[in-house]
Chain A
Amino acid sequence: MSDRVILSIGTKKGLFVAEAAKRRRGFTLRGPFAPGVAVYSALIDTRGTPRLYASSCNAFFGMKVLRSTDLGKKFKETKSPPAFPKDDGRALANIWSLEPGPDKKDLWCGVEPAALFRSSDGGDSWALVPGISNHAHARKWQPGNGGLCMHTIYRADDRVHLGISTGGHYLSEDGGNTFSAANQGVGAGFTPDPYPEFGQCVHKITGHKDAPGRLYMQNHGGWAEWDGPGGRRPGIGVLRSDDHGHTWRSIAKGLPSDFGFPIVVHPHDADTVYVLPLEPMTRTCPGAAPAVWRSENGGGSWRRLARGLPKQSSYFTVQRDAMDIDELESPALYFGTTTGQLWIGRDGGEAFECLFDALPPIHCVKAAVV
């Protein structure tokens, strides 16, 4: 019986694990694991006995994948991290995403420079997925501010959606063997062509198992006022697809900014989606007053959720993997900030409370009920 909530919190200075009973009244904190080392991705794998995974981006000694089999009381390195073949010429710079694969011990891993790896033994060995890693476009992708990263892996049956910054959205419909750019309707603000075939700065993609074919995307927005070649590009930052990602349309109307990083779907309602708008130039909250915005009709309209959050003087960023939601009946939203605060938004984001206010800058937050 699931009776505990586990949060895996990746920070600039290591991995923390928070745990609470289902009522989520008091969270205890463990860590840091891999102290002093940046953690950009984490996974709480609830298939069978829960396992926690995290990447460890060691500036000195390279990448590691950490694994815990006791709910984050201790972590050990897996036998090896992903690695490019020796004759490839690329070297692993970071690990940006860890996701479960189709079989019980399968793991998928998106890395920088943008490439995809798979493991069939729980992270002890890895194989490059050539269909995307050696795609004809791969050497034409350009790094965004965070590097050239494959940050999103979203699987829906035999379809695999990948988000690459800046490469765009790539779709496989054969279980991950072959991939095609699928960016119709996904705008780019930093190229003369507002709708290129690929090269968009996608920030995050998500979906819901109860709405097959529907996807939500937080893209790099903030181009409504652009007056250079190609003209204005309003609303390209928050998008929706209803055809498995082949085409996309804006759902940004009503938001204070279409720029942001994370996008999260309610666990029990595919129409309810959350974003955290940021000012495009500063990547901080509009008016220095942070708020999560929620749509309950698939992006048709949006409502500001800020009860309990600071009303002024807040200048943090919430990064692409730093917001998540648990799966309890009345789920709680969680987000971590670059100023080291971890917030919980109870009752689906109706009321926020700061759980921890002095962690290192937070890169990722994952929540699970175990």
Chain B
Amino acid sequence: MHRELTVSVRIPGPLREYCAGASELTVTAPDVGAALAQLEREHPSLYRNICDETGAVRRHIAVFVNTSHLRDLGGLGTALVPGDVVTIFPAVSGG
């Protein structure tokens, strides 16, 4: 494992049933896309809740790296550095 590439992924309450109740997962990935790909390998049903079949993050899901929204960074190619926290949020939407 490349220790320097280890980041944590915070899982919101509604999705914890898809990863054995974990509120936080650790992944080893150089960017957000690779982090999600690791989730797909290790927790496929969790991944399906975050991304659709094309690999796109679902429309009403917000992914943050630390305090910045993925759309304001480099999308799935956003680089990660050791200690980064990737947070998955259900977006504020509905009716």
Q: Which A residues have a C-beta under 8 Å from some C-beta of B?
A: 58-62, 79-81, 83-86, 88-92
Partner of B53, one of A58, A59, A60, A90: A90
Does the CB pair B52–A62 fall under 8 Å? yes
Q: For B60, what are the chain A residues with a Cβ–Cβ distance below 8 Å?
A: 59-60
Q: Using CB atoms, name the residue of chain A closest to B94.
A: A59
Chain A residue contacts of B61, Cβ below 8 A: 60-61
What are 8 A-B contacts with C-beta separation under 8 Å?
A59-B60, A60-B93, A61-B15, A61-B48, A86-B54, A86-B55, A88-B53, A91-B52
B90 at the interface (CB under 8 A from A): yes
Given contacts A59-B93, A61-B14, A62-B48, contact A86 B58 (CB under 8 A): no
Decide if B53 touches A84 in the complex (CB within 8 Å): yes
Q: A60 to B90, Cβ gap below 8 A?
A: yes
Q: Are B58's CB and A92's CB within 8 A?
A: no
Q: Which residue of A is nearest B62, CB measured?
A: A60
Is B45 interfacial (CB 8 A cutoff)?
yes
**B residues in contact with A91, CB < 8 Å:** 52-54, 56
Chain B, interface residues (CB within 8 Å), range: 10 to 19
Closest 9 CB pairs of A and B: A91-B52, A61-B49, A60-B90, A60-B60, A84-B53, A83-B53, A91-B53, A59-B60, A91-B54
* B interface secondary structure, majority: loop
**What are the residues of chain B within 8 A of A59 when measuring CB–CB?**
59-60, 93-94
Whether, in the assembled complex, B91 has its beta carbon less than 8 Å from a beta carbon of chain A, the answer is yes
Q: Report yes or no: A60 in contact with B56, Cβ–Cβ below 8 A.
A: no
CB-CB under 8 A from B49, the residues of chain A are 58, 60-62
Q: A60: which of B45, B54, B58 is its contact (CB, 8 Å)?
A: B58
Cα(A88)–Cα(B55), bound, Å: 11
**B45 partner residues in chain A, CB cutoff 8 A:** 79-80
Please give the distance in Å from B58's CB to the nearest CB on chain A. Answer: 6
Residue of B nearest to A79 (CB): B45
A81 cross-chain contacts in B, Cβ below 8 A: 48
The smallest C-beta distance from A294 to any residue of chain B, in angstroms, reads 36
Residues of B within 8 A of A89 (CB): 54
Q: Assess whether B53 is in contact with A86, with CB atoms less than 8 Å apart.
A: yes
Query: CA of A94 to CA of B48 in the docked complex: distance in angstroms?
Result: 14
| Distance in angstroms between the alpha carbons of A60 and B91 in the assembled complex | 7
> 12 other contacts beyond A62-B52, A86-B54, A90-B54, with CB at 8 A cut-off?
A59-B59, A59-B60, A59-B93, A61-B14, A61-B15, A61-B90, A81-B48, A83-B53, A84-B53, A86-B53, A86-B55, A91-B54
Docked CA distance A349–B14 (Å):
42
Which residues of chain A come closer than 8 Å to B93, judged between CB atoms?
A: 59-60
> A residues within 8 A CB of B91?
60
Q: Which residues 33-48 in B have Cβ within 8 Å of A in the complex?
A: 45, 48
Q: How far is the CA of A80 from the CA of B49 in the complex (A)?
A: 11
CB of B54 within 8 A of CB of A80, answer: no
Cβ–Cβ contact A61 & B58, under 8 A: yes
Contacts of B55 in A (CB 8 A): 86
How far in angstroms is the closest Cβ of chain B from A176? 22
Contact of A83 among B14, B48, B59 (CB under 8 A): B48
User: Quick one: closest B residue to A59, CB to CB?
Assistant: B60
Shortest CB-to-CB span from A8 to chain B, Å, is 23
> Could you tell me the distance between the alpha carbons of A62 and B28 in the complex, rounded to whole angstroms?
26
CB neighbours of A92 from chain B (8 A)? 52-53
Report chain A residues within 8 Å CB of B94. 59
Instruction: Report chain B residues within 8 Å CB of A61.
Output: 14-15, 48-50, 58, 61, 90
